[in-house]
Amino acid sequence: MATEITVPQLGESVTEGTIAEWLKQPGDAVAVDEPIVSLETDKVAVEVPSPVAGVIEELRAEVGDTVEVGAVLATVSEGGAPAAKGDEANRDQGAGEPGGGKKGAEPAKAKDADSGQAAYGNHDEGTGEGNQTLSPAVRRAVLEYGVDPSSIKGTGKDGRLTKEDVIAAAQSKEGGNKGDSASPAPSPSSTPATVSSGERREERVKMTRMRQTIAKRLKGAQDNAALLTTFNDVDMSAVMEARGKYKDLFAKKHDIKLGFMGFFAKAACLALKDVPAANAYIEGDEIVYHDYVDISVAVSAPNGLVVPVIRDADKKGFAQIEKDIADFGARAKDGTLTMEDMKGGTFTISNGGVFGSLMSTPIINPPQSAVLGLHRIEDRPVAIDGKVEIRPMMYIALSYDHRLIDGREAVTALKIMKEAIEDPTRMLIDL
């Protein structure tokens, strides 16, 4: 008996998604609730599980296809025995020959050739596990860094490779070669194909649905809002001293590290309370104000930037804010964030400093009217009481919609945040 697996409800107002990656191929065994395919929507990647245990019988869509809610993705033969490895190999080898296999059973690499997604699944993995399908981002990293994906242990969901795994493996390989000039040359089977001198290559990869949505929203923000950015710099000495003094006690009590984002989130809550326009948005000819603060935190995910929301940040303590951020970061990497995680948000904080950014002009996250940009901390000479001292300084930027927020309000909001970070006691006594 064959069971159809269909596209589930993907969230409010979301009616379709794009096939990003098949996690199972025809002939593969699947357990109840085991994911078989990853779908990309406008905001998140959603894994679709099998409702029954059995064997994948047929795939009804290709990587890159757009599928609507309710459409049939695949069929599962309930209770069927998984194919033996030898049988799998024979099936794959004969897929291109007359009678060599049923529709949908061709090798993964050939199947994905036109979609821009390569699958390294028809050879034995270093772990001895089954097929390993690489996402476009991972595939590009494999080609760029020239590493063998079968030799890398994946840290993603269900042991799948992430782009970060490939980069770490390449750096480890590079460091090992520098430290041991006598190390043996890699075997021919694991050596990437070399490009002859002077040859130039191009690769055309279709934009993911998430990247297309990011592009439209950011361009829409520029087209529709009167964007302006104001800057300030912050002496991080007090926050760094507080972290150094209490980080061990904080971690012991709350089981989470005390980071910088908790301080900036609470500082932003103070500023938004005094400058409510920065926590509002324009809808038609009306201004919608909020008496709560839901902070969208920009998080880097394998498929692009996502902005999960810390709900009621103004009512939460440092520990809960840090736990929320850590949870978002882990789930963004695993691809398990949901539509609900990113719904709403009244103000955004983006931390480019983790990537080394010194200064930037962030773009607002519509329909929000303001975004705070954080940057790297570096020692700089500053004048303190008439004397030059070296202090850990950070540039901060507030981009805002000038249709709603006046320059005086924007500067005031940023100044409140600066004062709160330089004197954290203000956050305790609500100044």
Which residues form the catalytic set? 402, 406
Q: Is the Cβ–Cβ distance between 270 and 417 less than 8 Å?
A: yes
Q: How many CB atoms lie within 10 A of CB 168?
A: 14
Distance CA 367, CA 344 (A): 9
Which SS3 state, helix, strand or coil, does residue 382 take? Answer: strand
DSSP three-state, residue 271: helix
The answer to whether the CB of 228 falls within 8 A of the CB of 407 is: yes
Residue 50 CB partners (closer than 8 Å, separation 6+): 3, 5, 30, 31, 32, 33, 34, 35, 36, 76
Burial grade of 263 (CB within 10 A; 0-12, 13-18, 19 or more): buried
As a whole number of angstroms, the distance between CA 84 and CA 253 comes to: 51
Q: Which residue has 């009621």 as its token pair? A: 312
